[in-house]
Structure 1
Amino acid sequence: MRIAESIADIHYVTNPAGDRTDVIVPLSAWEALLAVLEEMADHLEDQEDVALLRDWLRARADGTAATIPLADLEDELRRDGLLSG
């Protein structure tokens, strides 16, 4: 389901003055909107990762990149649960 289709299925609840007070969102529309938001978040994270890598590569080429011994990196990854053993 596309965003436009999802939004078309949303209904507003109004008070006696006609002000919108609540929203009724069908489950299928809600799930579609959540999927779009998740995809957007993943895309933004990917862009951030690319920017970080690009910055590090520039610093590495300049000789200004911070480095640590491999053993320290492995210890840090283990502490963070990203490496077993």
Structure 2
Amino acid sequence: MIFVLVILFAFVLPLVFVGIWTGHKKDMAKMNTELNNSEKQKIANEFEAVKARLEVLEAIVTDKKYQLNEEIDSLRQPAKRPN
């Protein structure tokens, strides 16, 4: 009976613990990879949003109605008085 207990504690239990630990490490690595993928997706989504905003700003700046130089030039010209 003692021989069986010695074999159990010396060989079987360490193998079980190593198996549990290895499985845990694999699960943690998988979760870490998924987290990294979600972070990458979040950054890609944010980048796309910034690109869309930049396109809108470029459209506003290049639109003839919003050019600041014309507005400043019109303010610099003296006002014409009616005769």
Q: Tell me the TM-score normalised to structure 2 length.
A: 0.46
Give the number of the structure whose alpha-carbon radius of gyration is greater: 2
For CA contacts below 8 A with separation 6 or more, give which structure has more relative contact order. 1
Relative to its length, the structure with more strand (as a share) is 1
Relative to its length, the structure with more helix (as a share) is 2
